[in-house]
Amino acid sequence: MSPSACLSRTCYQILIAVAAFALLGQNRGDAVDINDGPPVLEKAWKLYNTGAYEEAVSYSAAGRELDPWISGWIVIEAQSLLALGRYEEAYEELDRYVEDHRYALLPRFLLRQAALYSARYNEARLQYEALGYLINERSRRYGYDPDNVVVIGRIAELYKLEPKIVLDNFYRRAMDFDPPPVSAYLAAGNLALNKSDYKLASQTFQKGLELFPENPDLWFGLAHSFREGDPGRLAEYANKALSLNPRHGPTLRLLAENQIAGEDYLSATVLLDKALRTNPRDPDTLALKASIAYIQNDAETGDELRREALSSWTINPSVDFRIGYQLSRKYRFADAARYQRKALGFDESFSPARIQLAQDLLRLARNEEAWRHADRVYRDDPYNVAAFNLVTLEERLAEFSTIESEHFLLRMTPQEAEVYGPRAIKLLEKAHTELSQSYGIELPVKTTVEIYPNPADFETRTFGMPGTPGFLGVCFGPVFTINSPASRSANWEAVLYHEFCHTITLTMSQNRMPRWLSEGISVYEEQLFNPAWGQRMSADYRDRILSEQMQPVSSMSSAFLRAEDGQDIQFAYFQSYLVVDFLVQNYGKPALRELLQDLGKGEETNAAIAKRFAPLPELDLAFAEFAKAEASKLAGEFRFQTQQSPLATAIQITGPKTDYSSALQEGWRLLEEEDWENAAERLQDLIEKAGYLTGSENAHWPLAVAYRKLGERESEIATLEAITRHEGSQLKPLVRLLELSQEEQDAAASLKWANQWIAINPMAETPWRALLEAASDIEQDNYSAEAARSLIALDPPDSPALHYQLAEILQDSDPTQAKRHVLMALQDAPRFQKAYHLLNELQAAAPAPPEPSDNRPKIDALDIDIDFLQ
């Protein structure tokens, strides 16, 4: 029977069998106590679940001799042999058992697996077809045993039966037995993981653990469900699995992947070597070791480990999928795509490789091919969450507008493209000029930039699925994505500059630079371009540095790896920036450029740093002194020993110091009491002694409020301007400064503050109206036209007036567009008299149409009713 024929019959028969299960008995009998007498299954399972695989093999073999008709013995024995990498032995034992027990479902299912691992592909195919035959012809007979119900579901998965049918009619039905088998929760949870439905997977494994709290496979599954989410919970649950079974290979691999993500390759290797001591032939473990070698540019070792990983199952697509996945996480997308193609060469139906290939191709700006792969996965498996998300994203992107310039392809929604697209492309081209010259590089292709107003779309495009908030932008090299300013309160111009700097440095290093260096350079460059951008020393950062919580240069990657919350991540960015600032100040930017080139050639990061700058111990010591000196410059006369700043308790404080937060709170108290003069005096004294502080410790804003209440306009303006010089994402001071400049009819100042407001929120009407008014006053037609166009795109109620005003601006420079806009004004306001007058002027000034040439055909005059036309 062919697999396709078997599939069609299987789908039908399975549904019939399910209906019969409800009529069958569901009692599995009482549990057997573990004792020192004859072998019992519970003890065998305990040996297996605690990692005593060798003992489980012997114990189960003895049990099988006593009662060969209990299939549990061969199942435990075979699974233990597979866990040890004794694939041929597992195959032989299962083959002999299945020959005598032709209808044993789970042993035959495991026999197919053992056949694959021992390169018996024809036998694996035969077992595949036999499994289909059995559940076609005998499915009703298996309904008495919930474990068999689960196996039927797993077979149905092999035959690509609809996942919801499998989940509802097999795994959940098995859960309804009393007692339910652990295999039902494992199979249902793994099905959800395979479809990238991590929330459902987590819920399923947790339900299983309520009944089977000592099962390491369930704890591993729960940990795996947080692989793309909370690393802290992943580690917690993984360690619980290892406490039950220290030899649990899948958990050791999961933790190793976590260490690889944090660039701690030594710890990852230790974990993988521990797994290999149990199973020296495990393909997935060897694939991860190969990944580390490739990431560290040791292709020879990587190739050898890959060959070893494929030595038992020579066409195993999981090996190249795992290698490619790890390379993708290190932004080596071209290499990653190559390995996913190899995986598909082994098995073109292996959807994890195809969906990962689609994501990698999107990051390489090869969208057309990427969508084809995503569409195919979705057609084959509509329940694959990652594929569904990508197909949905494709539909959204099709609605985007594209603005193309010399060096960029900018994609954004049509409205946002009209509002601030030209301004964005202008900034990007300026960034290209500045950074390409600074780093001496010519990019090989245009950079693709995508701006998403929907954070879920951004997360899908960036991470494969929604649920990873907190990122303003992410760069892959030739492609970077950002969240629209409509969805995030941040300086979108700074974000564009920051992410494009990644494009420069990733290209120079061939995507072989650590995250901390990439982020550090981007923060350094954006602050160099605009001092109000980037990060600066804060009270929290000062406390962390002075309490020696700074990472040395030699282990700066740990700053991101050990981050437990958003504040830790932000400090990791700041540390990375400080390192780059320190290196450039002391060794110059040419050395930094040479470092990037060395990394691009495959040199190890710390070795390249030592080569271009100084030996690492010397560098670590010098940087620590530099960082402490920078931290000490901030609020040197103050301490920050408050509940909001517990780190300060670890700082060595010499001499009497004033608590800064108490002094600031005193200023706020005086404001609440409307004691404006004393508030201004206290806050001004605080600023003179402490300098500028960001965040909740900022004293400039309350001081500006005090000056406003006192009517001291010049002092208020000076204080607000200080905020804008230090923090480019603060909107409140810009709103007030624009208001003041308009009151004083200072067009130049209004132009400045309106532009800075737009850099934070371009979708607001107020700054564009202020820009239009100010630019018109000082005859800055370029700004006037931009502001008018942007306002029209925001669809305000006075669109006809704006069309008319834009037509006036363009009257001399672009009469064709001027006429277009005056007609649009008349379309919405047919009685707009000024628009008619302007239209007449434009028509009068338009050149006469050319006379027909002599060789053109002559046309007799026509008798036309002119009055009718008018």
Q: Where are the domains of the chain?
A: 275-398, 402-632, 797-846
Alpha-carbon span 473 to 244, nearest angstrom: 41
Q: Where are the alpha helices (DSSP H) in 530-565?
A: 539-546, 558-561
pLDDT of residue 363: 92
Tally Cβ neighbours within 10 Å of residue 686.
24
Phi first, then psi, for residue 527 (nearest 5°) are -75, -30
For residue 332, CA distances in Å to 328, 344, 353, 588 come to: 5, 19, 15, 28
Answer for the pair 257, 288: CB distance below 8 angstroms, yes or no.
yes
**Spatial CA neighbour of 600 closest among 297, 298, 329:** 297
pLDDT of residue 782: 87
DSSP E strand boundaries for 630-752:
638-639, 658-659
**What's the start-to-end Cα distance of the chain, in Å?**
82
pLDDT of 431 strictly over 90: yes
Alpha-carbon span 222 to 243, nearest angstrom: 15
Work out the average pLDDT over 35-61: 90
Q: Which residues contact 223 (CB under 8 A, 6 or more apart)?
A: 233, 234, 235, 236, 237, 238, 240, 241, 251, 254
Least confident of 181-195, 228-242, 638-652: 638-652
Q: How confident is the model at residue 842 (pLDDT cuts 50, 70, 90)?
A: confident
Work out the average pLDDT over 704-721: 96
Rounded to 10 degrees, the C-alpha dihedral 310/313/315/320 comes to -40
pLDDT of residue 706: 96
Phi first, then psi, for residue 253 (nearest 5°) are -70, -40
Work out the average pLDDT over 256-279: 93
Find out whether the peptide bond into 179 is cis, omega within 30 degrees of 0.
yes
Helix, strand, coil distribution of the chain in percent, nearest 5: 70, 5, 30
Q: How many whole angstroms from its chain centre is CA 319? A: 24
pLDDT of 653 strictly over 50: no
pLDDT, tens digit, for every residue of 289-313?
999 999 999 999 999 999 999 999 9
pLDDT, tens digit, for every residue of 64-78?
988 888 999 999 999
For residue 484, CA distances in Å to 411, 461, 774 come to: 11, 13, 26
Q: How confident is the model at residue 648 (pLDDT cuts 50, 70, 90)?
A: very low
Work out the average pLDDT over 668-685: 95
Answer for the pair 230, 258: CB distance below 8 angstroms, yes or no.
no
- Map residue 481 onto helix, strand or coil: strand
pLDDT of 870 strictly over 80: no
pLDDT, tens digit, for every residue of 392-424?
999 999 999 999 999 999 999 999 999 999 999
Q: Which residues contact 29 (CB under 8 A, 6 or more apart)?
A: none
pLDDT, tens digit, for every residue of 724-735?
999 999 999 999
205 strand-pairing partners: none
Work out the average pLDDT over 93-102: 94
pTM reported for the whole predicted model = 0.83
Answer for the pair 440, 593: CB distance below 8 angstroms, yes or no.
yes
pLDDT, tens digit, for every residue of 551-580?
999 989 888 877 778 888 899 999 999 999
pLDDT of residue 467: 63
The topology (CATH level 3) of 402-632 is: Neutral Protease; domain 2 (1.10.390)
Q: How confident is the model at residue 26 (pLDDT cuts 50, 70, 90)?
A: very low
Answer for the pair 787, 771: CB distance below 8 angstroms, yes or no.
yes
Alpha-carbon span 381 to 576, nearest angstrom: 43
Alpha-carbon span 521 to 577, nearest angstrom: 6
Least confident of 157-171, 496-510, 613-627: 157-171
Answer for the pair 536, 726: CB distance below 8 angstroms, yes or no.
yes
* Residue 97 CB-half CA count within 13 A: 29
Answer for the pair 309, 290: CB distance below 8 angstroms, yes or no.
yes
Share of the chain above pLDDT 70, in %: 90
pLDDT of 626 strictly over 60: yes
User: Hey, CA dihedral for 787, 792, 795, 796, is it positive or negative?
Assistant: positive
DSSP state of 490: S
DSSP sequence for 743-805:
HTT-HHHHHHHHHHHHTT-TT-HHHHHHHHHHHHHTT-HHHHHHHHHHHHHT--TTHHHHHHH
Tally Cβ neighbours within 10 Å of residue 764.
17
Architecture of the domain defined by 275-398:
Alpha Horseshoe (1.25)
pLDDT of residue 519: 95
pLDDT of residue 230: 79
Sort strands 408-412 and 401-404 into parallel, antiparallel or unpaired: antiparallel
659 strand-pairing partners: 639
Work out the average pLDDT over 88-103: 95
Answer for the pair 16, 143: CB distance below 8 angstroms, yes or no.
no
Residue at token pair 């995503």: 374
Work out the average pLDDT over 162-176: 93
pLDDT of 29 strictly over 90: no
Answer for the pair 190, 218: CB distance below 8 angstroms, yes or no.
no
pLDDT, tens digit, for every residue of 537-548?
999 999 999 999
Answer for the pair 796, 766: CB distance below 8 angstroms, yes or no.
no
Q: Which residue has the higher pLDDT, 751 or 868?
A: 751
User: Hey, CA dihedral for 797, 798, 804, 808, is it positive or negative?
Assistant: negative
pLDDT of 3 strictly over 70: no
For residue 615, CA distances in Å to 60, 552, 603, 606, 620 come to: 58, 13, 16, 9, 9
pLDDT of 624 strictly over 50: yes
pLDDT of residue 31: 35
Work out the average pLDDT over 747-763: 96
Sort strands 638-639 and 479-483 into parallel, antiparallel or unpaired: unpaired
Alpha-carbon span 331 to 459, nearest angstrom: 16
